[in-house]
Structures are given as structure tokens and as C-alpha cells.
């Protein structure tokens, strides 16, 4: 009788132990599943935040920096010059024949052309330069740490030359007919992004009145190219 009672108790203990072990395994599995869900949700949230941040700083059509990001980078460049001789350059680029191309071939072709222009500008820009799209067919390039004010003209020529070759879109070979380029530098200029943008915009307006691929630079005090 004692042996039978002991056997029954032992069997009961084994069942209880098995149930307890199963409960532990189930709880551990639920904890792992919950941790995985939390990690997945955190990754989704981070990805959404990154997309939102990118939307705030990137042009949605071309993927280039937008105006706000360009101004932020320009301000940083103006404030972080390593020597007093270094200057920051700013180029403003306007595509001369984009509007008639867009009107003739439609917005879809125009958008593809803008993306190709953006890629071509980005491909010839230096690693420390920022290419931005400000809107429409207007692009900007921030050039930090130039040796002198005149050094800004060489990148301007390099970027304009990159736009001379035709752009192949389906069966079309589109030429944008050159670009008007405004050039301004921080030499003898207040170290504020807004001031430099005002100067380069004035230079661009003068360049638009000239021949294709014309570039004009701002000269403080004279207002002349």
C-alpha cells in the first residue's frame, strides 16, 4: 500500500513538474515573441522617423538636398572655416531651356530630365560639396573651404560643362541649351546664409540676361559681375 501511494505521489509530482516546465516554456516563448514584436515595432518606428526626416531635408523628385537643408549646410560651412583665408562659395544654376522642353514633351519627361540633371550634377560635384534642388529647374551647389573667391568660378565651369551633353530619354536626345549660373562667395561678406543667397540670386538674374552658359559673380559694393 505504501509503495502504491508513493508511486501515485511520484507520478503526480512528475505531472506537476511537466506542467510547470511546460508553463515555463510557454511563458518564455511568449516573452521572446513579445520582445521580437517590440523590436520590430521599434525598427518600423525608426524607419518612419527616418523617412519623415528625409522628407524634411530632401527634394522628393531628385533625392537632392532641399532648400532648408542647403541653408543649414551653408550656415555650417560659413561657421566652420579652418582658416581666415578660406571662403565658402555658392552657385545658383538655372536651366535655360527646361521650360519649353517641359511644355513640349510633358511633365513626365520633364521630371525625368530633372532627375538626370540632378544625377549629373551630383556625379561631378566634389565629395565635400552639396548639390541641392531649390524648386522648378533651379539648383544650388554649396562649395565649402575654397582657397579664394576666384576659385568658385572653376567649379561653376565644371558643372556647366557637365550639362552640355544631351540627355537621352526614350527616343529623345534633349539639350537644355546651357545654364545660367550665379556665383557668390563669403569673401568680404557677412557670414550669414541669407546674405550670400541674396548675392547669388542677384548674380543669377544678371546671368539670365546673357548668352547660354553664362555665369556671373557678385562683387560686394559694386553690384556688378
- Give the domain CATH number at 108: 3.30.70.270
In a domain, 33, yes or no: yes
The helix or strand, by DSSP H or E, that contains position 48, with its residue range, turns out to be helix 2-57
User: What pLDDT does 9 receive?
Assistant: 53
28, 57, 86 — which closes off a domain? 57
Grid cell of 24 as nine digits: 515555463
5 shares its domain with 38: yes
**Ramachandran quadrant class, 74 (left: phi over 0; alpha: psi -120 to 50; beta: rest):** alpha
Per-residue confidence (pLDDT) for residue 6, from 0 to 100: 45
- Give dist(CA 111, CA 132) in Å, integer: 15
Residues 100 and 173 in one domain: yes
Record the cell numbers describing residue 15, joined without a space: 505531472
Residue 68 has a pLDDT of: 96
Q: Total structural domains in the chain? A: 2
> What's the pLDDT at 225?
34
Q: What is the pLDDT of residue 188?
A: 59
Same domain, 79 and 104: yes
Same domain assignment for residues 36 and 8: yes
pLDDT of res. 223:
33
Sheet holding 138-146, edge to edge: 130-135, 138-146, 87-95, 179-185, 215-217
Q: For residue 222, is it within any domain?
A: no
Q: Which helix (H) or strand (E) element contains residue 44?
A: helix 2-57
Residue 223 belongs to some domain of the structure:
no
Same domain, 6 and 77: no
Range of the domain at 20: 1-57
Q: In the beta sheet, which residues pair with residue 172? A: 169
Residue 90, strand partner residues: 142, 184
For residue 160, tell me if it sits in a domain: yes
pLDDT of residue 43: 60
Task: Going residue by residue through the chain, which has 225 residues, state the pLDDT in tens, using 9 for 90 and above.
Answer: 545 544 555 555 667 666 777 777 888 888 888 877 777 666 666 644 555 555 589 999 999 999 999 999 999 998 876 556 788 999 999 998 999 999 999 999 999 999 999 999 999 999 999 999 999 999 999 999 887 767 777 888 888 889 999 999 999 999 998 889 999 988 755 678 888 999 999 999 988 886 545 555 554 433 333
Q: Are 171 and 132 in contact (CB under 8 A)?
A: no
- Rounded to whole angstroms, how far apart are CA atoms 158 and 9? 90
Say what the pLDDT of residue 7 is.
56
One domain, residues 41 and 77: no
Per-residue confidence (pLDDT) for residue 81, from 0 to 100: 65
Quote the pLDDT of residue 216: 53
Amino acid at each position: 500500500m505504501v509503495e502504491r501511494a508513493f508511486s501515485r505521489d511520484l507520478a503526480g509530482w512528475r505531472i506537476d513538474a511537466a506542467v510547470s516546465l511546460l508553463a515555463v516554456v510557454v511563458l518564455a516563448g511568449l516573452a521572446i515573441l513579445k520582445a521580437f514584436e517590440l523590436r520590430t515595432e521599434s525598427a518600423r518606428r525608426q524607419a518612419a522617423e527616418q523617412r519623415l526626416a528625409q522628407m524634411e531635408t530632401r527634394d522628393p523628385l531628385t533625392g537632392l538636398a532641399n532648400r532648408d537643408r542647403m541653408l543649414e549646410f551653408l550656415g555650417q560651412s560659413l561657421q566652420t572655416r579652418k582658416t581666415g583665408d578660406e571662403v565658402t562659395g555658392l552657385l545658383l544654376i538655372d536651366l535655360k531651356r527646361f521650360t519649353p522642353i517641359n511644355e513640349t514633351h510633358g511633365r513626365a519627361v520633364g521630371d525625368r530630365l530633372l532627375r538626370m540633371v540632378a544625377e549629373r550634377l551630383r556625379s561631378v560635384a566634389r565629395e565635400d560639396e552639396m548639390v541641392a534642388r531649390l524648386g522648378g529647374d533651379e539648383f544650388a551647389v554649396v562649395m565649402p573651404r575654397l582657397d579664394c573667391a576666384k576659385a568658385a568660378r572653376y567649379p561653376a565651369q565644371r558643372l556647366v560643362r557637365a550639362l552640355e551633353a544631351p540627355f537621352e530619354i526614350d527616343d529623345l536626345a534633349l539639350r537644355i541649351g546651357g545654364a545660367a549660373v550665379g556665383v557668390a562667395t563669403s569673401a568680404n561678406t557677412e557670414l550669414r546664409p541669407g546674405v550670400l543667397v541674396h548675392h547669388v540670386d542677384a548674380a543669377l538674374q544678371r546671368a539670365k540676361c546673357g548668352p547660354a552658359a553664362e555665369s556671373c559673380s557678385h562683387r560686394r559694393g559694386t553690384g556688378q559681375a
